[in-house]
Structure 1
């Protein structure tokens, strides 16, 4: 009898152990982490092709460099037609160079930026303006003082057993994580669930996504999408096409950006922009999108402002317009909208003067108003009529048509109009006045922008 009881006890223990292991290995099990959904998730979020993104560098955005400083200007962000904000990392960071991408605690808001309650309030305020908020997620590496360092098996090691920084980089302030370690991967997924549930975040921009295994992203995204009653936006900082297969909605379009620099700064044939678009979107699955930009935190910090890179404020505006009216998700970076011509670091604070650049801001507002209030530009099919010096594209939907013409040169250009625009009469979408052409040739001022229908 005693042996039988012992057998049953062993069997019960083994069963419980199996169930426990199954739960640990199944990151899509949303009953194990014990988090509670805070607030009310936004419903009916925009389709990917309707997103307009704004990247926030907290350390530059306000004098205090915190969430409240951004919250105070949410109305100004909304005026640009923005419906999704990407916050650069808000988790506790460490390391010798003060990088926000050196995370020392995945579960805490760095006191530099505020508290969990501040983040919750910020997201509530953004939601009240129909703006989603995604957080920057640094999965590839941590700071060297992260608590996970207690288990060296969670990190990549060299042949001598030493933890290393990410291979092929100069990122010596961070330690490379080992995604072959199931416990680490599951803990990472748990942390990603935490912010979606406890802060009501709307998704993530995933840093250095190309460095992380496809298999991890697939498991993590499946887990996040399994959270009940949640719609999320997931954005990969990378160029791998398998990001879409893993479940990401968006990734960066570096090739398109590089082509705009070639055209506007180096005199490349403007027709190549359309060619680049066709090549890029030929590898993008339906309902997925590329994020297109003329600056972001990396470009601005290391290479120069958009004004530096394109060779002047007018050139940067023209490049932005050409980028904006092509298909894709447009991105505006902190201070870009006022033409802030100071390189903005993100390892330290460098405060933007929002009273600067009022005239540039008005141009951005007009461009964004034309884009957001005319469905042709967000949803319409693309037709190309460009020449070697002039970007000319048309977007059509439901029998309606809208146009973007941009002179890519710092000189006067004559553009041979397509038949559709010869002796054309319509509305200038930048000022509401009438717009018309006479004959078959259009004369354009240096870097002139025309948006009409």
Structure 2
């Protein structure tokens, strides 16, 4: 796989407008047509009658020096922060106080969940109901707090990306005054995203060019004013792909910037819009199925191959065993993967078979409690719990980050029903990973290419001489290198 970020062609588009005078009779006819069509429903991609004029963009200077060490996509080790659960204060400064711990975990990209001012009308407390895209939620701090967090993260060679919510806004967002910017029903009423159950937000209509311009302006704001390094784009499948291309092209045309764009989406066409990463739900769901339904470990190979079909060079799939949605609504890795050791084994598979690994805050200390993100009274993470789990995560991440074979090498699989086994190769470097995904001891018969070979344990550097088989304790794993 390519070791550099996938490069995208940037095409400049004409923004000139041509205005013509309209005779009075034609004007009256036009108004009648507008009224006649006002009752029709508007979709995100339909032409919208009565379009609000586009807002002229203002130029802004870059605050501080752009970060020069944004990692290539294959080198990313990502960490998701739920500000409300991360610290007792539940704010940006609480994150800044633990930057050393995040760095020591082997992280080079921090993803902050939404930091923006949220709505009050129809609110359920979600940070994804944005009322002002260009203001830090006072509960989390202010612009200066964010700037300081970004600056100190950069000084530790960590990029910072923000969670971006383009699909919808809070009901009391000022944009509501422009009804053509929103999806409406047959009676002209603004509606929530259909089929999602998100009653606290109003669905945006991206056929409005004025909306697009304001949304991109807001995305540029944080890059220029806070020096952030990109975005994780919420529900990206719900927003037209051509908008994402327009937005990403604009962001990547900011001078001297390397922008990370990460889509919460499964559509591979989003790579063509410029995204570096999309979600790998199939791999995550297959992992849960293997652990909970006793299905064959070899099924992971099929999912991995399918995930990477038609993925452009340099682009990648996100791999995880925990994130804010799964944790809040379904359960923790401890419950899904049968305890601390089972969760560690699952992370080895997610982090080593291929793709970009994600760690959700608290996962590294084996946090057993689900974390809400809907209000500041959520359970706070106990950072002193399970120090042995933290030590193991540090070892796993340190070796992954040092190994080109793990990050971008080819994959050869040897999996059985109960053991996931594979070899990653890059040039002369080889890494073998063998994981018991059952809660009982397994005697795994090695393939002839591995039998009677000599290796080093990748986590301890001890010499390992393989015979014809290896005995694996419940949920144990063996990572070998040479």
Does TM, normalized by the shorter one, top 0.5?
A: yes
Residue 184, structure 1, aligned to residue 215, structure 2: no
Find the counterpart in structure 1 of residue 46 from structure 2. Answer: none
- Does residue 1:332 correspond to 2:359, yes or no? yes
Counterpart CA distance in 2 for 1:435 and 1:55 is 35
- Residue 117 of structure 2 corresponds to residue 88 of structure 1: no
1:150 corresponds, among 164, 177, 195, to: 177
More helix by share: 1
The corresponding residue for 2:385 is: 356
**Residues 197-208 of structure 1 correspond to what in structure 2 (within 5 A)?**
197-208=224-235
Deviations 1:231-266 (CA, angstroms, capped at 9, x unpaired) = 100000011111111111101000010111111222
Distance 1:120 1:256, change over 3 A: same
Corresponding position of 1:63: 88
Q: 1:246 aligns with which of 258, 273, 278?
A: 273
Q: CA deviation at 1:426?
A: 2.1
Aligned-pair Cα RMSD in Å: 1.7
Shift of 1:350: 2.1
Distance 2:367 2:463 in 1: 32
Change (3 A) 1:25 1:57: same
Instruction: State how 1:344-383 maps to structure 2 within 5 Å.
Output: 344-348=371-375, 349-383=378-412
| Partner residue of 1:220 out of 225, 228, 247 | 247
Q: Matches of 1:281 and 1:26 in 2, distance apart?
A: 40
Residues 53 and 82, structure 1, Cα contact 8 Å, conserved in 2: yes
Which consecutive aligned stretches of 4+ in structure 1 deviate over 4 angstroms post-superposition? 16-19, 24-27
SS of the aligned residue for 1:180 comes to: coil
Does the aligned pair in 1 maintain the 2:55–2:214 contact within 8 Å?
Answer: no
CA distance in 1, matches of 2:17, 2:251: 25
Counterpart of 2:475 (choices 421, 435, 447) is: 447
Count of paired positions: 430
| Residue 103 of structure 1 pairs with residue 130 of structure 2 | yes
Separation in structure 2 between the aligned mates of residue 300 and residue 407 of structure 1, nearest angstrom: 24
Matched, 1:51 2:79: no
In the TM superposition, 1:106-117 aligns within 5 A as 106-117=133-144
SS at match of 2:405: helix
> What's the secondary structure of 2:138's corresponding residue?
coil
Deviation at residue 393 of structure 1 after TM alignment: 1.1
Kept in 2, the 8 Å contact 1:425–1:435? The answer is yes
Contact 1:140 1:176 in 2 (8 A): yes
Answer yes or no: is the 8 Å Cα contact 1:53–1:86 preserved in 2.
yes
Q: What's the secondary structure of 2:380's corresponding residue?
A: coil
> How far, CA to CA, are the matches of 1:419 and 1:311 in structure 2?
32
Separation in structure 1 between the aligned mates of residue 423 and residue 104 of structure 2, nearest angstrom:
25
CA distance in 2, matches of 1:17, 1:240: 34
Contact 2:70–2:229 (CA under 8 A) maintained in structure 1: no
Q: In the TM superposition, what is the alpha-carbon distance from 1:282 to its structure 2 partner?
A: 0.7
Q: CA separation of 1:26/1:145 partners in 2, compared to 1, >3 Å: closer, same or farther?
A: closer
* 8 Å contact kept, 1:370–1:451: no
The equivalent residue for 1:126 is: 153
1:409 maps to which residue? Answer: 438
How far residue 311 of structure 1 moved from its aligned partner, in angstroms, is: 2.1
| CA–CA separation in structure 1 for the residues paired with 2:199 and 2:54 | 31
Residue 70 of structure 1 and its aligned partner are, at CA, apart by 0.7
Q: Any gaps of 5 or more consecutive residues in structure 1?
A: 1-15
Contact 2:105/2:393 (<8 A) preserved: yes
Matching of residue 277 in structure 1 with residue 304 in structure 2: yes
The CA deviation string for residues 24-61 of structure 1, in whole angstroms up to 9 with x for no partner, is 8699xxxx422210111112422111110000000000
Question: Residue 227 of structure 2 aligns to a residue in which SS?
Answer: coil
Structure 2 gap segments, 5+ residues each:
1-15, 20-52
Matched, 1:210 2:210: no
The equivalent residue for 1:78 is 103
TM-score by length of 1: 0.92
C-alpha displacement of 1:164: 0.4
